[in-house]
Amino acid sequence: MTGRQWVLLSYRLPREPSTPRITVWRQLERLGAARLGDGLVGLPADARTREQFDWLAAEIRQADGTATVWLGAPATREEEDAIIDGLRTARAAEYDAIIDKAATAAGAAGDERTRALRRLREDLRKVVRRDFFSPPQRDQAHAAVEALVEPAARTR
C-alpha cells in the first residue's frame, strides 16, 4: 500500500429522475474527483474532501440512491501514480483553457479587459481549489491572468 490516504465515494442512483444524477455529476466535477470506476470516485483524504463526500453521500441517499464513503489507499505506487496523473492532466487542461482565455482577453481594453480579469481570477480560484497535484500550467495560468492587470494599475 502507498502512504497517502484517499477518501472514496461508492454510489448508485436510480436512472429516473435524471436531475439527481446530473447534480451529483456536477458536484463531483466541481470537486475535481478522480473517476475510479462506475460509481466510484476518489480524492486525497483531508478534512475538507471527507466532509464534501459525506455531504454528497447524504444527498445521494435522499435521492433514493445508495452511497458509502470509504478511506483507503491504492495497493501499489503505480496505481496511485496513475490516479494522480489523471487528476494532474485534468487540471492541466483547465489551466490551459484559462491561459487561452487570458491570451484572448489581452487584446481587449478598458472595461472589457477588467471584466475578463475578474472572471478569469474567479475561474482560476475554482481550479486551484480542486488542484491537489499541481501541473506546471498552474503557475503559467496565474502569470497569464495577472498579466491582464493594466500597467497603470500595477504601479499604484
Give residues with Cβ within 8 angstroms of 85, minimum separation 6.
none
The answer to whether residue 10 scores a pLDDT higher than 90 is: yes
Q: Give me the pLDDT at residue 1, please.
A: 60
Indicate whether 67 and 110 sit together in one domain.
no
For residue 46, report the phi and psi dihedrals to the nearest 5 degrees.
-155, 175
Average pLDDT of span 109-128: 94
DSSP of 120-138, one letter per residue?
Answer: HHHHHHHHHHT-SS--THH
Q: Model confidence at 151, in pLDDT bands (50, 70, 90)?
A: low
Q: Give me the pLDDT at residue 2, please.
A: 64
Average pLDDT of span 23-39: 95
Show the cell assigned to 95.
489551466
Indicate whether 10 and 63 sit together in one domain.
yes
Q: How many domains does the chain have?
A: 2
Indicate whether 85 and 150 sit together in one domain.
yes
Cα distance between residue 71 and residue 9, in whole Å? 9
Domain-embedded: residue 14: yes
Which of 25, 42, 73 is the C-terminal boundary of a domain? 73
Average pLDDT of span 6-32: 94
Cα distance between residue 139 and residue 103, in whole Å? 15
Q: Give me the pLDDT at residue 3, please.
A: 75
Show the cell assigned to 103.
491570451
Q: Give me the pLDDT at residue 109, please.
A: 86
Name the residue range of residue 45's domain. Answer: 6-73
Q: Give me the pLDDT at residue 152, please.
A: 45
Cα distance between residue 66 and residue 64, in whole Å? 7
pLDDT in tens, 63-88: 999 999 999 999 999 999 999 999 99
Cα distance between residue 7 and residue 72, in whole Å? 6
% pLDDT > 70, the chain: 95
Please count the CA atoms within 13 angstroms of the CA of 42 that sit on its side-chain side.
20
Domain-embedded: residue 1: no
Cα distance between residue 146 and residue 120, in whole Å? 9
Q: What is the mean pLDDT of the chain?
A: 93
Q: Model confidence at 153, in pLDDT bands (50, 70, 90)?
A: low
% pLDDT > 90, the chain: 88
Secondary structure of 65-120 in the HEC alphabet? CEEEEEEECCCCHHHHHHHHHHHHHHHHHHHHHHHHHHHHHCCCCHHHHHHHHHHH
Query: What is the length of the chain?
Result: 156
Q: Model confidence at 155, in pLDDT bands (50, 70, 90)?
A: very low
Domain CATH for 23: 3.30.70.240
